[in-house]
Amino acid sequence: MRLAAPRDPIAWFRAWFREASRRETRLPEAMSLATAGRGGGPSTRMVLLKGVAERGFEFFTNRRSSKAAEISRNGRVALLFHWKSLDRQVRIEGRAVALGAAECDRYWATRPRGSQIGAWASDQSRPLSSRAALERKYRALAARFAEGPVPRPAHWGGYRVVPARIEFWQGRKNRLHDRIEFRRVRGRWSARRLQP
């Protein structure tokens, strides 16, 4: 089956993501996030997709982390999904924008309690004297928040990557892969097929 170029890359992504969610054995929502580090060099790490809509692709993190500092200096980022079981990947380029407090609170409320406490315990990307120190801090915070809901820390929140470019790649025999690129031009998506 060859790739056709539908008009809506977000709908196409959702269809591929649904299939990956059925076929991938672990974390089909894992995506590589590339940012520009100090001096403009590339910096990349894995994060988890937590929402996708016409407006973009959402993830959440500590806003004091290295990735958040890099986004604040240069909001241009790239995402990469790779689904090995399907021999597919999706590349996304765009601008990361911070989500508002209400959106962050809504997602925070869905997180497991242990992950909420972990977000308080970790000064993400900062040096750590020992694993034991981190575990002591976690236990102290678990005791502090033993009753009632765990509030969202002010330094924890989400970003939406607003796409300007999305490329779908499907592996094929003899390296004659299918590649379809979408670019947003004056608010509308334009598609073209690329050489493998």
Instruction: Give the span between the Cα atoms of 142 and 60, in whole angstroms.
Output: 21
Instruction: Give the span between the Cα atoms of 3 and 179, in whole angstroms.
Output: 8
Q: If you write DSSP's letter for every residue of 56-98 in order, what string do you get?
A: EEEEEEETTSHHHHHHHH--EEEEEEEEGGGTEEEEEEEEEEE
Q: Strand, helix or coil at 16?
A: helix
Active-site annotation holds for 175 = yes
Q: If you write DSSP's letter for every residue of 17-69 in order, what string do you get?
A: HHHHHHH-SS-TTEEEEEEE-GGG-EEEEEEE--EEETTEEEEEEETTSHHHH
Instruction: Give the span between the Cα atoms of 22 and 152, in whole angstroms.
Output: 32
Residue from 2, 26, 131, 175 carrying the catalytic annotation: 175
Q: Strand, helix or coil at 114?
A: helix
Instruction: Write the CA distances from 144 to 27, 107, 140, 141, 148, integer angstroms.
Output: 31, 22, 6, 5, 10
Read off the amino acid at residue 65: S
Q: Strand, helix or coil at 133?
A: helix
Q: Give catalytic residue positions.
A: 175
